[in-house]
């Protein structure tokens, strides 16, 4: 049995594992997925969870039902790429998993490199933190100040969702640059109107350099009172890859080739936010759900091709735009050109919100239907001499 271990069951990991299970023959391959939580978490909806909405329960055991995938609910603590082992910890203690092929899809979380963020701030990049923020907002009830730090998509979605779901709270946002400055004129006008409608105060060109329990301090010394500071100022990948000896770039992402193989350890494939890969436009793919789809498609194609001797298809690594929700009934879909510059037009309003909802629902459905309803093809492990020839 050729042992494939998939680390992480987010959008990239869960989809990749399901696709591998439905394409590779169970007589030749054993697939194990390691994930810290027993459920598939729709990360792109965690701002909704934090705001007080309930999300659909998606147990991974049900997602992988009938596939033969072995689910291990545990936390990854170490990877030994020379011995090809992964160390995990669960309620029963420490264990080691051996692999022949590793798919690394541990994703990213919020940055916590500013003093006080780890101790006093909340984020919506993981389910536990989103639930802690929800509990804090419940404590505030109909009165309190919430400061969202950041000007990216996550910050905008968190601020508008909280403001819509909890209108009694006074929500503000602080960003280093100009809110929505990367958007086209139409989209930015729509964004600013939405913030005005929700009563969200915006502090532009404001860099927060310290977070305390009841306030956030800007670089110029200005103190912003806050009963709950939501940190959405960027993402950071898990440090396990760098500590394992796999080649990484300065921000910790794993450097991969066009087929999503680690350039230092070809038996390690990478999908999702952990992958540093150059897209069709000559720029690194950003950490995003769209990139998770592209990299997981390419990684699974490469694994199947490398292990079965089949031709490896090339998945598109194009980045086409940003889709931003502004509460439940409003959104923006901004297309970008090959240089990642916003195009003049944009889809805005209820139609954009319905489109985004459909995209997220399709992404969640694809976790347990990675072949999109098409017949499964069970490919056998190629003989060693066949793989060399391929």
Per-residue pLDDT of the chain (390 residues; tens, 9 = 90+): 999 999 999 999 999 999 999 999 999 999 999 999 999 999 999 999 999 999 999 999 999 998 999 999 999 999 999 999 999 999 999 999 999 999 999 999 998 889 999 999 999 999 999 999 999 999 998 889 999 999 999 999 999 999 999 999 999 999 999 999 999 999 999 999 999 999 999 999 999 999 999 999 999 999 999 999 999 998 899 889 999 999 999 999 999 999 999 999 999 999 999 999 998 888 898 888 888 899 999 999 999 999 999 999 999 898 888 899 999 999 999 988 877 789 988 999 999 999 999 999 998 888 888 877 766 778 999 975 455 445
- Cα distances from 287 to residues 292, 293, 362, in angstroms, run 8, 11, 20
Taking the C-alpha atoms of residue 274 and residue 252, their distance in angstroms, rounded to an integer, is 8
Confidence at residue 371, expressed as pLDDT on a 0 to 100 scale? 75
Looking from the CA of 21 toward its CB, the CA atoms found within 13 Å total 25
Decide: 292 and 256 in contact? Cβ < 8 Å.
Answer: no
Report the CATH architecture of 2-107+238-319+371-389: 3-Layer(bba) Sandwich (3.50)
Looking from the CA of 253 toward its CB, the CA atoms found within 13 Å total 22
Decide: 115 and 241 in contact? Cβ < 8 Å.
Answer: no
CA angle 174, 175, 181 (to 5 degrees): 135
Q: Which of 3.30.70.270, 3.90.850.10, 3.90.105.10, 3.50.50.60 is the CATH number of 110-231?
A: 3.50.50.60
Confidence at residue 387, expressed as pLDDT on a 0 to 100 scale? 54
85-90: strand order across its sheet: 75-80, 85-90, 93-98
> Is the pTM higher than 0.85?
yes
Taking the C-alpha atoms of residue 124 and residue 116, their distance in angstroms, rounded to an integer, is 17
Confidence at residue 385, expressed as pLDDT on a 0 to 100 scale? 45
Asked, colleague to colleague, whether 2-107+238-319+371-389 and 110-231 share their fold, the answer is yes
Taking the C-alpha atoms of residue 224 and residue 370, their distance in angstroms, rounded to an integer, is 46
Q: By CB neighbour count within 10 A (0-12 exposed, 13-18 middle, 19+ buried), where does 107 fall?
A: buried
Decide: 60 and 69 in contact? Cβ < 8 Å.
Answer: no
Tokens linked to 270: 């990478």
Confidence at residue 112, expressed as pLDDT on a 0 to 100 scale? 86
Domain locations in the chain as residue ranges: 2-107+238-319+371-389, 110-231
Confidence at residue 237, expressed as pLDDT on a 0 to 100 scale? 93
């Amino acid at each position: 049995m050729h042992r494939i271990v998939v680390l992480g069951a987010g959008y990239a990991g869960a989809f990749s594992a399901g696709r591998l299970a439905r394409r590779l023959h169970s007589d030749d391959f054993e697939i194990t997925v390691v994930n810290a939580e027993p459920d598939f978490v729709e990360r792109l909806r965690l701002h909704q969870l934090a705001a007080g909405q309930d999300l659909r329960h998606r147990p991974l055991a049900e997602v992988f039902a009938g596939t033969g995938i072995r689910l291990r609910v545990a936390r990854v603590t170490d990877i030994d790429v020379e011995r090809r082992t992964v160390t995990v910890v669960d309620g029963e203690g420490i264990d080691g998993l051996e692999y022949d092929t590793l798919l690394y899809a541990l994703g990213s979380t919020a940055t916590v490199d500013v003093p006080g963020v780890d101790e006093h701030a909340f984020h919506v990049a993981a389910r536990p933190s989103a639930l802690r923020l929800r509990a804090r907002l419940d404590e505030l009830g109909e009165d309190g100040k919430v400061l969202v730090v950041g000007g990216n998509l996550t910050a905008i979605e968190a601020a508008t969702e909280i403001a819509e779901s909890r209108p009694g709270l006074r929500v503000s946002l602080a960003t280093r640059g100009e809110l929505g400055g990367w958007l086209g004129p139409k989209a930015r006008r729509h964004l600013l109107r939405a913030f005005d409608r929700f009563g969200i105060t915006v502090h532009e060109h404001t860099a927060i350099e310290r977070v305390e329990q009841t306030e956030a301090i800007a670089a110029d010394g200005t103190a912003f009172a806050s009963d709950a500071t939501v940190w959405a100022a960027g993402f950071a990948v898990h440090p396990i890859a760098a500590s394992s000896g796999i080649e990484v770039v300065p921000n910790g992402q794993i450097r991969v080739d066009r087929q999503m193989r680690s350039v230092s350890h070809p038996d390690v494939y990478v999908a999702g936010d952990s992958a540093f890969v150059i897209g069709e436009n000559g720029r690194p793919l950003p950490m995003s759900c769209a990139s998770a789809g592209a990299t997981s498609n390419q990684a699974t194609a490469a694994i199947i091709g490398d292990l079965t001797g089949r031709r490896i298809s090339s998945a598109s690594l194009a980045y086409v735009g940003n889709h931003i929700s502004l509460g439940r009934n409003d959104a923006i879909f901004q297309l970008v050109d090959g240089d990642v510059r916003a195009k003049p037009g944009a889809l805005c309003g209820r139609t954009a919100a319905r489109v985004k909802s459909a995209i997220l629902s399709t992404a969640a459905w694809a976790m347990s239907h990675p072949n999109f309803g098409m017949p499964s093809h069970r490919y056998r492990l190629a003989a060693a001499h066949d793989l060399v020839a391929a």
